[in-house]
Amino acid sequence: GQNIDQPTEMTATEGAIVQINCTYQTSGFNGLFWYQQHAGEAPTFLSYNVLDGLEEKGRFSSFLSRSKGYSYLLLKELQMKDSASYLCAVTSGDYKLSFGAGTTVTVRA
């Protein structure tokens, strides 16, 4: 089975940096995804890590350590539109993706 943990809520100020941690215990590992979900909308893809290290994509970066079962999503230069839920998801390469409960980020002016 999959066990994926991430904080429930985080609050940060506009322009600041926020780091969302995700730890996982899985039967097999084949990749880790981060998704963004605004209230009332569908999740949308942010990043995918399969190897250890940092993947940077604009203001968003994602890090993976497979030996520690750990990932984080880094959001820089926060904007009000970044207020959303951020979902960590893990796959064992068996066509299925298991999601954590999500972290709700609130950006304040």
Partner 1 sequence: IAGITQAPTSQILAAGRRMTLRCTQDMRHNAMYWYRQDLGLGLRLIHYSNTAGTTGKGEVPDGYSVSRANTDDFPLTLASAVPSQTSVYFCASSDSASGYTGELFFGEGSRLTVL
Question: Is residue 86 a contact point for partner 1 (CB under 8 A)?
Answer: no
**How distant is the alpha carbon of residue 49 from its chain centre?**
10
C-alpha distances out from residue 94 to 21, 67, 87, 90, Å: 24, 20, 19, 11
Q: How many residues bind partner 1 (CB under 8 A)?
A: 24
From the CB of residue 78, how many other CB atoms can be counted at a distance below 10 Å?
19
11-50 binders of partner 1 (CB under 8 A)? 30-31, 33, 35, 41-45, 48
Q: Which of 15, 17, 54, 93 binds partner 1 (CB under 8 A)?
A: 93
List of residues contacting partner 1 (CB under 8 A): 8, 30-31, 33, 35, 41-45, 48, 87, 89, 91, 93-102
